[in-house]
Amino acid sequence: MFKKSCYNWSTTGFALTVLLGLAFLCNITAAELYVPSEYETIQAAIDDCDDGDVVIIAEGTYRGNGNRDIDFRGKAITVGRSKFDDEDAG
């Protein structure tokens, strides 16, 4: 009376599990790139980033080429400083 569904839910569940696992692994492999200890300029660190990476900038004033007119090049990255003040929390 009822037509058997051709859709295999167990295959869909397996595929969803694999995709979620891959997404989790991508977050684990995020790199931290340090300016100026590893990269001379902020732009050089950004240029070497992949999506999900974090550029950490040491305290200081950064001037000159590569430290102004920063282009993120469409990358999904985080750029921040290495030290946070108490007023930053909250």
Residue 58 structural domain: 30-88
Secondary structure (DSSP) of 42-58: HHHHHHT--TT-EEEE-
Number of structural domains (the chain) is 1
Residue 1 located in a structural domain: no
Residue 11 located in a structural domain: no
Residue 53 located in a structural domain: yes
Residue 2 located in a structural domain: no
Residue 4 located in a structural domain: no
Is 87 a residue whose pLDDT tops 90? no
Residue 69 located in a structural domain: yes
pLDDT digits (tens, 9 = 90+) for 41-50: 999 999 999 9
When pLDDT is cut at 50, 70 and 90, the band that residue 82 belongs to is confident
Counting Cβ atoms within 10 Å, is residue 43 exposed (0-12), middle (13-18) or buried (19+)?
buried
Higher pLDDT, 37 or 16: 37
pTM above 0.95, yes or no: no
pLDDT digits (tens, 9 = 90+) for 8-34: 556 666 776 776 666 666 556 789 999
Residue 16 located in a structural domain: no
Residue 72 located in a structural domain: yes
